[in-house]
Amino acid sequence: MRFVPQFTDGQEFPHALGKVICVGRNYADHAKELDNPVPSEPLLFIKPATSVVDLTKPLDPPFSRGDVHYEVELALLVGERLTHATQDEAERAIAGIGLAMDLTLRDVQTKLKEKGHPWEIAKAFDGACPLSPFLPLSRVPNWNALAFTLEIDGEERQHGEGADMIFAIPTLVAEMSRHFTLEPGDVILTGTPAGVGELPRGASLRLTLTGGLEIVTSVVE
């Protein structure tokens, strides 16, 4: 059964989940902490729908394959078909905002990068994209004012703000639509701020987003 995006009011989105389009290094501080250059254009990649799981349920990533790193991100739910969209069209097409975790098999990714190989198996595995319910949008929000946090066992590890993105949301979504047609039910991850690290087994997680979204979840032992 395919994952169906949900809104925080309990309503189901009328389309099944599609692809998840992601951007790497959209916060300068995060690029620097991984010793990566700050990009001059968005670095895009895709996670399949099969990578998505419910963020409100305990996370059970494949720890047997090496270190699993967390990256919390603002998630956007696409509500209209977009192709070669303008920035105005792009931001008006967003039906909801939520939170996601871009889980990464960091040991696997490092080995693949060293060999110059693609690294989808480190980013697109089953369970690699825990996703929250979405706050429904009735109008375009102030993207710069959005802020989100991740706490692990009561300690804040990540804090992101829309104003700190290298590529602002309207620019980012429009650019994505130049390369991939966006369909209702697709989800966009907008990049992670500094503070990424290893996901501890048995940890308690708390995630918050401007607008009243709060998710409390955990990681399996």
Token reading at 121: 């198996």
For 37, the token pair is: 């250059």
Nearest residue to 119 via CA among 66, 160, 163, 177: 66
The full set of domains in the chain, from first to last, is 20-218 (3.90.850.10)
**pLDDT reported for residue 214:** 98
What does pTM read for this prediction?
A: 0.95
pLDDT tens-digit profile, the chain (221 residues): 678 999 999 999 999 999 999 999 999 886 567 677 777 899 999 999 999 999 999 999 999 999 999 999 999 999 999 999 999 999 999 999 999 999 999 989 889 889 999 989 999 999 999 999 999 998 999 999 999 999 999 999 999 999 999 999 999 999 999 999 999 999 999 999 999 999 999 999 999 999 999 999 999 99
Rounded to the nearest 10°, the torsion over CA 136, 191, 183, 68 is -100
- Secondary structure class of 22 (helix, strand, coil): strand
At 218, is the secondary structure helix, strand, or coil?
A: strand
* pLDDT score at 119: 87
Q: How far apart are CA 59 and CA 70, in angstroms?
A: 11
The predicted pLDDT at position 3 comes to: 87
SS (H, E, C) 156-197: EEEEEEHHHECCCHHHHHHHHHHHCCECCCCEEECCCCCCCE
In whole angstroms, give the CA distance from residue 168 to residue 31. 16
Separation between Cα atoms, residue 114 and residue 207, nearest integer Å:
33
Q: How far apart are CA 122 and CA 107, in angstroms?
A: 8
Element (H, E) at 130: strand 129-131
For residue 198, give both structure tokens. 């290893």
The upper half-sphere exposure of residue 201, i.e. CA atoms within 13 Å in the direction of its Cβ, equals 6
Rounded Cα distance between 150 and 199, Å, is 12
